[in-house]
A = this chain, B = another copy of it.
Amino acid sequence: MFSHIKDLIIGPSLPTQAATHERLNKVRALAAFSPDALSSIAYANQEIYLGLVIAGTAGLAYAWPIGLTITGLLVIVALSYFQTIHGYPSGGGSYIVARANLGTLAGLVAAAALMVDYVLNAAVSLTAGVAAIGSAFPVILPYRTELAIALLVIITLINLRGLQESGTVMAVPVYLFLVTYLSMILIGAIRLVIEGPTPPATIPALPAVQPVTLILILHAFATGCTALTGIEAISNGVPAFRAPQAHNAGRTLIVMALLMGALFVGSIGLTQFLGVVAGPEETILSALARRLLGNGFFYLVIQFSTLGILAVAANTSFADFPRVSAILARDDFLPRQLRGLGDRLVFSNGIVLLAVATAVLIFVFSGDTHLLIPLFAIGAFLAFTLSQSGMVMHWYRERGPGWLAKAFFNGTGALATGATLLIVAFSKFTSGAWITVLVIPLIVVGFGRVNRHYQRVRNQLTLHGLPPSLRPAAPARVVIPISGVHRGMVNAVLFAESISSNVTGVYVELEPGAGAKVAEDWKEWWPDLPIVVIPSPYRSLVGPLLEYLDKTDFEHNDGQLALVVLPEFVTAHWWENVLHNQTASLIKAALLYGRRRSGGERVIVDVPYHLRT
């Protein structure tokens, strides 16, 4: 029944050979890799506005220079990644580039940073999407946590089913977003040219809660840098492009960067020169759209296309996070369960792990984008810096034609993102960045622990040093713990007799006096086999049995541990287990996982006896 429900929601299992490795053309590749980067303007603009508005009209005047600085950073980072694409045409994720050029530790730090940022990207995109709709319909705002979780559940289920059609279906919201936003910015630009900027005198002055300080401006810049998250996506995905892969991926990156720049500069400029301000329950982009398009149909199209691109952006985390987890699991840095393809040929465990982590974030931060943002972008800029530094090392090691120019571009990228990383980490430290700063090293330590465990297991499992031919040992002494003389233990005794001539029945006497009757019955059926009755003054079953086993092993001292043959009832229905004591399971668990006094391995034989309905 469970399997039927699973089939309905997730879909039936797919065979391994059904995995397709479809190549994307540039139009579909743009749709597949850009949503994370493009959608960032939805929250980056908002955060710059929120960061400055507390300093009133005087503060908001800094939005335009901050926006231009971030756009400059965008150009540097885009050029830097353009180089990565050509340097690593087989896919240059930050983990791979940093590990290959700067060592394993740098690679793991980049990986941990990326994984943290994927979780934050999913959480921030979903909450910002809900905020976009909440600007149009404030009535839903009290339920933003629930709505964000609902979106998360839908995206998780879609990803567990497997997104074979990612490039095609995802293209719809991406191009809808591009068309609507670019049209809106065009309309705004035309109005700005015709009407000229709104004169500052006519804009109602906003009161300043704080003075304009350097810290305030740096903080606004730092939160605005979230606009750059997702720009690395194309360099990870070069193998998905049609040949010539690096060439096409490079072109797509340039187009994406231009679109990002146009959207970011356009929206922030219009907000500035039209003097747009937002109420407490509205995003600044929503206020801009209202100003340009009124409250009607076109405004709603803008808001829903914002939600659309943000949902698709959250979805990119669901593609990237499980893939990075699987790569790390393959390299023994994460549990190997993250490595296996699920029923639907997707990394199901990674998807579930991401969904749970995202849900926790959304809950803890009450679905509020503004509270989540300080944690965000640190991971991305850390990974950027490590990846760009790695590229510098890469060019230096290769020293091919023109390597100096290439190293220069990547070096500039590394310096710019590194400086930004410091600004972001320091200016947002107390408002939440400390969590990320704390979590990333912890994850790296975890990677190391996991790796050490697998390494140790591998050393213990090697067959090196074993003699080339091993002779089977003589059949051991056999002990059969019984709960009474009945049909359920007959098979167990017969099996024990078939493999050994040294078989002993053992009865742990929970109620004083009960053992005599059992021993008598046993003697009647198996006069040749000894039976031992162990008293149990504390009415414990497992303890006295283990003591008895240790004792006989010690007495025989034949280099073997007594083999335990366990008769086990199996009830016809699982709920009938409530009616039985599960002694066989308890004994098995104690023998396998309990404290062991002797060094050897004790073989446990389970002889089931299935009860009929």
Interface residues of A (CB under 8 A from B): 13-17, 335-337, 340-343, 450, 453-454, 456-457, 460-463, 466, 470-475, 485-488, 490-491, 494-495, 497-499, 510-512, 525, 537-540, 568-570, 574, 576, 578-581, 588, 592-593, 596, 601-612
Interchain Cβ contacts under 8 Å between A and B, 14 examples:
A15-B537, A16-B539, A342-B539, A343-B539, A456-B611, A461-B487, A463-B487, A463-B490, A463-B525, A466-B487, A466-B490, A472-B495, A596-B610, A603-B605
B576 touches A453 (CB 8 A): yes
Most chain B beta-carbon neighbours within 10 Å: one of A341, A462, A485, A610: A610
Q: How far is the CB of A511 from chain B (nearest CB, A)?
A: 8
Are B490 and A472 touching (Cβ within 8 A)?
A: no
A466 contacts across to B, CB distance below 8 A? 487, 490
Given contacts A540-B13, A588-B606, contact A593 B570 (CB under 8 A): yes
Contact of A499 among B475, B539, B606 (CB under 8 A): B475
Known: A462-B486, A605-B605. 5 other contacts (CB 8 A): A463-B486, A473-B495, A473-B498, A570-B593, A588-B606
Q: Which of B337, B540, B607 contacts A601 (CB 8 A)?
A: B607
The docked-state distance in angstroms from the alpha carbon of A606 to that of B585 is 13
Residues of B within 8 Å of A511, CB to CB, are 16
The 9 A-B pairs with the shortest beta carbon distances in the complex, nearest first, are: A461-B486, A472-B497, A15-B537, A472-B498, A604-B606, A13-B538, A499-B499, A461-B487, A605-B605
Pairwise interchain contact B607-A450, C-beta atoms closer than 8 A: no
A314 and B336 alpha carbons, distance in the complex (Å): 53
Contact partner of A460 (CB less than 8 A), chosen from B453, B462, B601, B611, is B611
Q: Which residues of B contact A610 (CB under 8 A)?
A: 596, 601
What is the CB-to-nearest-CB distance from A506 to chain B, in angstroms, rounded to a whole number? 18
Within 8 Å by CB of A454, from B456, B462, B579, B593, lies: B579
Across the interface, which residues of B come within 8 angstroms of A568, CB to CB? 592
Chain B residues lying within 8 Å of A605, measured Cβ to Cβ, are 603-606
Contact in complex: B472, A488 (CB < 8 Å): no
Give the complex CA separation of A486 and B488 in angstroms. Answer: 36
Report the minimal beta-carbon distance from A513 to chain B, rounded to whole angstroms: 10
Nearest Cβ distance between residue A479 and chain B, in whole angstroms? Answer: 14
In the complex, which residue of chain B has the Cβ closest to the Cβ of A573?
A: B453
A457 touches B611 (CB 8 A): yes
Q: Which residues of B contact A540 (CB under 8 A)?
A: 13
Once the chains bind, are A494 and B510 in contact (CB under 8 Å)? Answer: no
**Bound-state Cα–Cα, A588 to B589, Å:** 13
- Shortest CB-to-CB span from A164 to chain B, Å, is 17
CA distance in complex: A521, B466 (Å): 14
* Shortest distance from the beta carbon of A30 to any chain B beta carbon, whole Å: 33
Q: Are B576 and A592 in contact (CB under 8 A)?
A: no
Residue of B nearest to A521 (CB): B463
Q: Known A461-B487, A499-B475, A512-B17; judge A592-B606 contact (CB<8 A).
A: yes
Query: Judging by beta carbons under 8 Å apart, are B601 and A491 in contact?
Result: yes
Contact of A461 with B488 in the complex, beta carbons under 8 Å = yes
A4 to chain B, nearest CB (A): 15
**B-side contacts of A574, CB under 8 Å:** 593
Asked if A473 and B487 make an inter-chain contact with CB atoms under 8 angstroms apart, the answer reads no
Give the residue of B17, B454, B474, B601 whose beta carbon is less than 8 angstroms from that of A537. Answer: B17
Give Cα A472 to B491, complex, Å: 9
Residues of B within 8 A of A16 (CB): 511-512, 537-539
Residue of B nearest to A605 (CB): B605
Q: Which B residues touch A14, using CB under 8 A?
A: 538
A345-B491 Cα distance, complex, nearest whole Å = 35
Q: Which residue of B lies closest to A511 (CB)?
A: B16
CB distance from A487 to the nearest CB of B (A): 5
Is A343 within 8 A of B596, CB to CB? no
* Residues in chain B near residue A569, CB distance under 8 A: 457
Instruction: Give A535's nearest chain B residue, CB to CB.
Output: B16
Question: Which residue of B is nearest A496, CB measured?
Answer: B472
**A537 contact set on B, CB distance < 8 A:** 15-17
CB distance from A503 to the nearest CB of B (A): 10
* A467 vs chain B, min Cβ distance (A): 11
Chain B residues near A579: list those with CB within 8 A.
335-336, 450, 453-454
A581 and B474 in contact (CB under 8 A), knowing A466-B487, A495-B603, A540-B13? no
A581 to B474, CA, bound (A): 32
In the bound complex, residues from chain B placing their C-beta under 8 Å from that of A607 are 601, 603
In the bound complex, CA of A15 to CA of B538 (Å): 5
CB distance from A539 to the nearest CB of B (A): 6
Q: Which B residue sits closest to A470, measured CB to CB?
A: B494
Known: A472-B494, A607-B603. A463 touches B450 (CB 8 A): no
Whose C-beta in chain B lies nearest to the C-beta of A574? B593
- Max chain B Cβ within 10 angstroms of own Cβ: one of A340, A457, A570, A612: A457
Write the nearest CB–CB distance from A471 to chain B, whole angstroms: 8
